[in-house]
Each structure stands twice: as C-alpha cells, then as structure tokens.
Amino acid sequence: MGVKQILLLGNEKLYERSEIVKESELEFIQSTVQDLHDTMMNFRKQYGKGRAIAAPQIGVMKRLLYFSVDNSMVMINPEVTFKSREIFEIWDDCMCFPDLLVKVNRNLSCKVKFRDLNWAEKEIFLEKDMSELFQHEFDHLEGVLAVSKAVDVHSFSLVSERTAH
C-alpha cells in the first residue's frame, strides 16, 4: 500500500491490454485499490485534479478501475453493455500527461456491467461527466490513450494555453 509512480506518456506499457481479474486475486486487488487511492490523492495534492485511475496507470496490468467523485467506486472487469448514439466533444486530460489536453468525442451516456470488491455483479447507467470519465478509464484497460482519439490535428493543447486566457 502506498503512493505508486504513475506511468507517463511514451511508456509502452500504457498501450498494452490489461488482463481479466480472477476471483482468487481479490486480496491483491484490494491492496491495489488502496495503492490507486493513495496515488490519486497524491496526484490531487500536486495538480488539484484527478477523479479516477486505472490499474495499468501504475503498471498493474489488470482490468480494475478506481473512481473518487462524490463517493468512491471500484470496477472490476468492466464491460460496456450500451453506448448512446449521441456523442459530445470535450477537452480531456490524463494523469499520464498532466500538462496536456486533448479534444476527443465521447458517448453522452453508457451502461456498464462490472464486479465490485465483494465479487457481486453490478450494472449502472452513466451520463455526461461520469460517462466520459468511465470511457476514458475503460480505454486505459484496452491500451488506448486519449491522444490516440484526438478529433483532429488541432486537438492538442497545453493546459496553460487553455486556462490562462
């Protein structure tokens, strides 16, 4: 348990697909969740942002996501069961490239099936902020970064360029 190093853009591991979690790994997953929490809180202290983190971002190549928005939530082996046809455009950020923003399209809403830390199966409907956040984190499990989903060649900006004006 503790603060781990977040892999940064350019690290090849970020482009790998993560493995399905088995029920027998729950103890390891529990301690990884603590690491994800500690690492994200440390990032927040430094950058004043960070709402969710995927296990591969700290080099644990397992299908595990940790969210801390209003409440905290753990998703093990998430699967998308529905995606809305409506999409919206946002300037996305990522803890793997804290100074960069990338314009991407995300589905306005989606439905997700996953397991929780008690291995209970859950399904939830996510909209807007939570929908785009989930899609960003889910992409990490597939080895896909926001930079690979840029809308066009003008879709990259340093954070300072978009907040200083």
* Length of the chain counted residue by residue: 165
Give the nearer residue to Zn ion in terms of CB position, either 124 or 144: 144
104 touching Zn ion, by CB under 5 A:
no
Q: Does residue 102 touch Zn ion according to CB under 5 A?
A: no
Query: What residue ranges in the chain does DSSP mark as E strands?
Result: 52-54, 64-68, 72-83, 87-92, 100-107, 109-115, 121-127, 156-158
Q: How many CA atoms lie within 13 A of 55 on its CB side?
A: 26
Does 64 bind Zn ion (CB under 5 A)? Our answer is: no
| Minimum gap (Å) between residue 118 Cβ and Zn ion | 26
Query: Going by C-beta distance under 8 Å and a sequence separation of 6 or more, which residues neighbour residue 12?
Result: none
Q: Stretches 69-77, 89-97, 110-118, 148-156: which one binds Zn ion (CB under 5 A)?
A: 89-97
Q: Which stretch binds Zn ion (CB under 5 A): 41-49, 69-77, 86-94, 104-112?
A: 86-94
Q: How far is the CB of 21 from Zn ion (least distance, A)?
A: 19
Measured CA to CA in angstroms, residue 77 lies from 32, 39, 64, 128, 146 at distances of 14, 21, 6, 22, 20
Interface residue with Zn ion among 94, 110, 126, 133 (CB under 5 A) is 94
Residues making contact with Zn ion (CB under 5 A) = 94
